[in-house]
Amino acid sequence: MKFSYNWIREFVPGLTQAAGPLERLITMKTAECEGIEETGALLGNAQVVLVESVEPIAGSHNVKTQIDAGPLGKRTVVCGAPNCRAGMHAVWTPIGKKVVSGVESDGMLASASELGISRDHAGILEVDTIAGLVPDAAIEIDNKSITHRPDLWGHHGMAREVAAILGLPLTDPAKLELLPEGPAAIQVMIEDYALCPRYSALVFDNVTVGPSPLWLQYRLTSIGLNPINNIVDLTNFLMAELAQPMHAFDADLLHGDTIFVRTAKAGEHFRALNDESYTLDAANLVIADAAGPIALAGVIGGGESAISDKTTRVVLESANFQASSIRKTSAGIKLRTDASMRFEKAQDPLNTVRALARAVELLPLVSPGIRLVGGVADACGPLAAPPVIELSLAWLARKLGRTLASGEVRRILESLAFTVADMDADTFLVTVPSWRATKDVGIKDDLVEEVGRMIGYDSITPEAPLAPVAPPPANPARRMQHDVRNLFVDNGYTEVYNYSFLSEADVRAFGMDPNDHLRVLNPIAEGQELMRSSLLPGIWNNVKENLKYRDSFRIFEIGQEIHPNETGLPSEVPHLIAAVYDRKETGLFELKRMAECLLPGAQTKPAQGREYEHPARAAEIHWRGELVGRLFELHPRMMETGRAAILDVNLARIAELGEAPTKYTPIRRQPSSAFDLSVVMVNRQHAGDVRSAIAEYANPLIESTNYLWEFALPDGKKSVSYRITVGSPERTLPSEEIMAIRADIIAILRELNYELKV
DSSP state of 126: B
Does the pLDDT of residue 707 top 90, yes or no? no
Q: How confident is the model at residue 714 (pLDDT cuts 50, 70, 90)?
A: confident
Give the H/E segment covering residue 331: helix 323-332
Q: Which CATH number fits domain 2-40+135-166: 3.30.56.10, 3.40.50.300, 3.20.20.70, 2.60.40.10?
A: 3.30.56.10
- The mean per-residue pLDDT over the stretch 11-24 comes to 95
Query: Which residues lie below 8 Å from residue 197, measured CB to CB, with a gap of 6+?
Result: 320, 321, 322, 349, 380, 381, 383
Q: How confident is the model at residue 686 (pLDDT cuts 50, 70, 90)?
A: confident
Phi, psi at 24, each rounded to 5° = -65, -40
Residue 521 near residue 615, CB atoms below 8 Å: no
Phi, psi at 340, each rounded to 5° = -65, -35
pLDDT, one tens digit per residue, over 583-608 is 989 999 999 999 999 998 888 988 99
pLDDT, one tens digit per residue, over 531-556 is 999 999 999 999 999 999 999 999 99
Q: In whole numbers, what is the pLDDT of the chain averaged over residues?
A: 93
The least confident of 110-119, 463-472, 498-507 is 463-472
The fourth-level CATH superfamily of domain 476-657 is Bira Bifunctional Protein; Domain 2 (3.30.930.10)
How are beta strands 494-495 and 552-563 bridged, if at all? parallel
- The mean per-residue pLDDT over the stretch 316-330 comes to 96
Q: Rounded to an integer, what distance in angstroms lies between the CA atom of residue 60 and that of residue 189?
A: 64
Q: Rounded to an integer, what distance in angstroms lies between the CA atom of residue 397 and that of residue 400?
A: 5
Q: Give all strands (DSSP E) within 546-642, no chain letters.
A: 552-563, 571-582, 603-606, 613-623, 626-634
- Supply the pLDDT for residue 315: 98
Query: Percent of the chain, pLDDT > 90?
Result: 80
Q: How confident is the model at residue 53 (pLDDT cuts 50, 70, 90)?
A: very high
- The mean per-residue pLDDT over the stretch 295-321 comes to 96
Residue 260 near residue 199, CB atoms below 8 Å: no
Phi, psi at 49, each rounded to 5° = -130, 165
Q: Rounded to an integer, what distance in angstroms lies between the CA atom of residue 243 and that of residue 223?
A: 14
Judged on CB neighbours under 10 Å (0-12, 13-18, 19+), 191 is middle
The fourth-level CATH superfamily of domain 176-380 is Phenylalanyl-trna Synthetase, Chain B, domain 3 (3.50.40.10)
End-to-end, the C-alpha distance of the chain in Å comes to 85
The least confident of 335-339, 448-452, 743-747 is 743-747
Does the pLDDT of residue 705 top 90, yes or no? no
Query: Domain 388-459 classified CATH 3.40.50.150?
Result: no
Q: Is 386 helix (H, G, I), strand (E, B) or coil?
A: coil
Q: Rounded to an integer, what distance in angstroms lies between the CA atom of residue 679 and that of residue 687?
A: 9
- The mean per-residue pLDDT over the stretch 283-298 comes to 96
State the CB neighbour count (10 A cutoff) for residue 67. Answer: 23
pTM for this one? 0.71
- Do the domains 388-459 and 673-757 sit in the same CATH topology, yes or no? no
Side-chain half-sphere exposure of 588, counting CA atoms within 13 A: 19
Q: Is 457 helix (H, G, I), strand (E, B) or coil?
A: helix
How are beta strands 603-606 and 571-582 bridged, if at all? unpaired
Residue 343 near residue 239, CB atoms below 8 Å: no
Judged on CB neighbours under 10 Å (0-12, 13-18, 19+), 217 is buried
Q: Is 443 helix (H, G, I), strand (E, B) or coil?
A: coil
Q: Is 206 helix (H, G, I), strand (E, B) or coil?
A: coil
- Supply the pLDDT for residue 758: 67
Three-state secondary structure string covering 703-751? EEEEEEEEEECCCCEEEEEEEEEECCCCCCCCHHHHHHHHHHHHHHHHH
Burial 72-95 (b: 16+ CB within 10 A, else e): eeebbbbbebeebeeebebbbbee
Q: Rounded to an integer, what distance in angstroms lies between the CA atom of residue 755 and that of residue 749?
A: 8
Phi, psi at 339, each rounded to 5° = -70, -50
The fourth-level CATH superfamily of domain 673-757 is Ferrodoxin-fold anticodon-binding domain (3.30.70.380)
- Supply the pLDDT for residue 601: 84
Domain ranges of the chain: 2-40+135-166, 41-115, 176-380, 388-459, 476-657, 673-757
Ranked by mean pLDDT, which of 193-202, 525-534, 638-647, 727-736 comes out on top?
Answer: 193-202
DSSP state of 733: P
- The mean per-residue pLDDT over the stretch 323-332 comes to 94
Concatenate the DSSP letters of all residues of 482-502 into one string. HHHHHHHHHTT-EE----SEE
Q: Is 233 helix (H, G, I), strand (E, B) or coil?
A: helix
pLDDT, one tens digit per residue, over 73-124 is 999 999 999 999 999 999 999 999 999 999 999 999 999 999 999 999 999 9
Does the pLDDT of residue 697 top 90, yes or no? no
- Supply the pLDDT for residue 470: 87
Q: What angle do CA 467, 471, 475 make, to 5 degrees?
A: 135
- Supply the pLDDT for residue 712: 86
Domain 41-115 is in which class?
mainly beta
Three-state secondary structure string covering 140-201? EECHHHHCCCHHHHCHHHHHHHHHHHHCCCCCCCCCHHHCCCCCECCEEEECCCCCCCEEEE
Q: Is 7 helix (H, G, I), strand (E, B) or coil?
A: helix
Q: Rounded to an integer, what distance in angstroms lies between the CA atom of residue 154 and that of residue 343?
A: 12
